Amino acid sequence: MSKKEPKKKPGLPKFGISWIYLSIFVGLLALQFFSNNYSGQTLDSNFSDLKEKISKGHVSLVEIVNKNHVLVYLDMDTLASNEDYKEISKTTFGDSPNPGPHYQFTAGDNFEEKIWRFYDENPDVKTQFGEVNVQHKTKTNYWTEVLSWIVPFALIAFFWFFMMRRMGGGSGGGPGSQIFNIGKSKAQMFDADAEVRITFQNVAGMEGAKDEVLEVVDFLKNPKKYTNLGGKIPKGVLLSGPPGTGKTLLAKAVAGEAKVPFFSLSGSDFVEMFVGVGASRVRDLFKQAKEKSPSIIFIDEIDAIGRARGKSNINGGNDERENTLNQLLTEMDGFGTNEHVIVMGATNRADILDRALMRAGRFDRVVYVDLPEFKERKEIFDVHLKPLKHSKTLDVQFLARQTPGFSGADIANVCNEAALVAARKNKKKVEKQDFLDAVDRIIGGMEKKSKIITPEEKKVIAYHEAGHATVSWLLEHASPLVKVTIVPRGRSLGAAWYLPEERQLNSTNQLLDEMCAAMGGRAAEEVVFKEITTGALSDLEKVTKQAKAIVSIYGLNKEIGNVTYYDSTGQSEYQFDKPYSEKTAQIIDQEISKIIESQYNRAKKLINENIDKLHLLAEDLLKKEVIFKENLEAIFGKRKWLTSEEKIQASLNAESKKKVIPQKKKSPSKPNGDKES
């Protein structure tokens, strides 16, 4: 185990330019404060109060500042002896006498004339105390002038500094940032010092994909191992597969395992409203990767820039994306050297990528990350069950069997939803039923017990779902039934849930049986009620797609023959015309309708033959609202056919019995003189 680094003690805050700004601001405030209070307190007054103090002989000086402001100075002896002036007799700091000014007010018009008029009206005051010394002064407030010059420039400088920080991609980032660095790459880099918690231990299943990705990491760690024989390191690895299968997780695990710089970004990070930005970012990305080689570049959702060129380009409207793609093609395999830089891409639309991007020398390897099978689902459940407080008796294999077709993300969601279900029930541990409820909620949605359904509608729903269950139970290749419910969930009023068999191949009979089971609900409605409802919309959508696939994709129809109109490149969506003639289109439509109607009639026949059992099943469903496989076995008996899983298990058991080691027979002893020639 590696030694843990000692925790850094919290020290003093780092010195920055902000501290200088703060110090200047505090200094200005202090200077202003002391300049105003050093000489002592100055009280507000008025002309009437001044006349009263002049009449008493308390005023020694009157200053008229800038012809507007009047400052009154009292006689120092009077100030020290008179208790009325005790408040202003001392300075603010210390016990020294206050030199003044002691009072202040704003002078009106002709202020000096008012004083002389006062003396004319009161000659006794003039005789007793004499005239007050009146002086005119002009003062300039240098601080105001300085600030009037400094403040505008300071505001302009601050605005300029702020804008430069934002445009230069300062710590704030966000909209409007990085104007000057707009052509720079937005890739996030992980190196040996970066703390990436995801490793290959967190990646369950995907053994083949993991091996290929691990090989990529080994290429960069030990390049001489492969180049000594004259080989070249692959330049690109494309991770392709359905959503949620773990493509991005694999890339994160590579970032956690690789001891080389790992540049991660999304395909949309290249796209900008400015012309040439995408190509510039591609150049900058590869420049950084080459400087730190050996390194890995990971582009998630690469189809954002790697879509095939020249298809949806109307009047040059997509030139910017194409320029970005062209630059990517050049960087991956152009005249420039690109040694020890491997590009990893991830997409769920590999069929629409440009052919030039997919050729050898660019993306040399395409790793298909498929949906997990039974064993892989079990491993994924083991990973996601670790943080959960679940029951020790929980059967992980059972959970894996109940989730066919689930991706890794779906399984993670099931585990999380099961924990939430258990928490709502105030349980201390997550149990088996919580997982089943979670699967039901994810597939069908939340139960809507408050939904008002009339008894007539409820009866129709019960017979509809019972029809599905009956037909699927009587057909060999239909998916095994798990449960039937008439409790509304999500957008459905009822549901019959099956456990799809994980087949690698599908025959015509298997597809037709599935279609027949899907039409069982509407068939039961017509047989029992002599009319049909709109409740079979999802069933019709399913069978129509299947019938269309039989006729136009898989080549399983006799009239059309061994012909397919499927385009694996994904470019057919950009074509305005159909890949077949109008006559062929009519034949396709006729054959689709014929297949659906034949399976509908087949379903009605099965319903009529087992009408009594259908009634029993529907009545049981109306009483219980939810019935399971055991209820169908009680009415119909056990199914005649084994499931694919049961067939595989039976073959494994048969092979294990055959592998009995036979005992070696002892060879007859020979005379000592005899030798074998």
Active-site annotation holds for 630: no
Compute the distance between CA of residue 276 and CA of residue 211 in angstroms, rounded to an integer. Answer: 38
Compute the distance between CA of residue 273 and CA of residue 311 in angstroms, rounded to an integer. Answer: 21
Q: Which of 465, 514, 525, 591 is catalytic?
A: 465
Compute the distance between CA of residue 570 and CA of residue 547 in angstroms, rounded to an integer. Answer: 21
Number of neighbours of residue 622 by Cβ within 10 angstroms: 16
Instruction: Collapse the DSSP code of 133 into the 3-class scheme (helix H, G, I; strand E, B; otherwise coil) and give the result.
Output: strand
User: Which DSSP letter does residue 352 get?
Assistant: G
Number of neighbours of residue 415 by Cβ within 10 angstroms: 23
The residue type found at 288 is Q
Q: Which residues contact 418 (CB under 8 A, 6 or more apart)?
A: 388, 430, 434, 435, 437, 438
Distances (CA, A) of 542 to 519, 538, 660: 10, 6, 48
Compute the distance between CA of residue 452 and CA of residue 136 in angstroms, rounded to an integer. Answer: 95
Compute the distance between CA of residue 93 and CA of residue 34 in angstroms, rounded to an integer. Answer: 10
Contact present, 469 and 632 (Cβ < 8 Å): yes
User: Which DSSP letter does residue 13 get?
Assistant: P
Angle (CA) 297-301-305 rounded to 5° is 85
Query: Residue ranges of the alpha helices (H) in 501-642?
Result: 508-518, 520-529, 537-552, 582-609, 611-624, 629-636
Instruction: Collapse the DSSP code of 356 into the 3-class scheme (helix H, G, I; strand E, B; otherwise coil) and give the result.
Output: helix
Query: Residue ranges of the alpha helices (H) in 93-206?
Result: 111-121, 123-129, 142-167
Contact present, 669 and 510 (Cβ < 8 Å): no
Number of neighbours of residue 476 by Cβ within 10 angstroms: 11
Contact present, 53 and 82 (Cβ < 8 Å): no
β-sheet bridge partners, residue 295: 341
What values do phi and psi take at 295, rounded to 5?
Answer: -150, 170
Of the candidates 502, 509, 455, which has an alpha carbon nearest to the alpha carbon of residue 477? 509
Residue 78 token pair: 């009077």
Number of neighbours of residue 199 by Cβ within 10 angstroms: 13
User: Which DSSP letter does residue 577 get?
Assistant: S
Contact present, 294 and 260 (Cβ < 8 Å): yes
Residue 484 token pair: 């039937």
What values do phi and psi take at 19, rounded to 5?
Answer: -65, -35
Q: Compute CA 610 distance to the chain's CA centroid, rounded to the nearest angstrom.
A: 51
Question: Which residues carry out catalysis?
Answer: 465
